[in-house]
Amino acid sequence: MLITANTQVEELMDLYPETITYFIINKVSLISCAGAYPTTLGEMMSAKKVKNIAEFIDELNDLVKQKNKKLNGL
């Protein structure tokens, strides 16, 4: 699955838990007081004032691709 601005935050955390560390390193919290942020990734990142959302999402996709390559022995 390609991560986009329309990806639900909770779905992202379930499918790709390795991305949580990336968010923490970049000082973007995926958690609200109710649990996983209850919205899309794009909406959450806008609310968190992430400067370049498209670049951040591209880097998330690169992270997932790298992990998949390692798992597939490529």
User: pLDDT tens, 32-71?
Assistant: 776 667 889 999 999 899 999 999 999 999 999 998 877 7
Distance CA 72, CA 16 (A): 16
Distance CA 9, CA 29 (A): 11
The confidence band for 1, taking pLDDT boundaries of 50, 70 and 90, is: confident
Contact call for residues 48 and 28 (beta carbons, < 8 A):
yes
Q: How many CB atoms lie within 10 A of CB 9?
A: 22
Distance CA 61, CA 71 (A): 15
pLDDT computed for residue 74 by the predictor: 59
What pTM, to 2 d.p., does this model score? 0.83
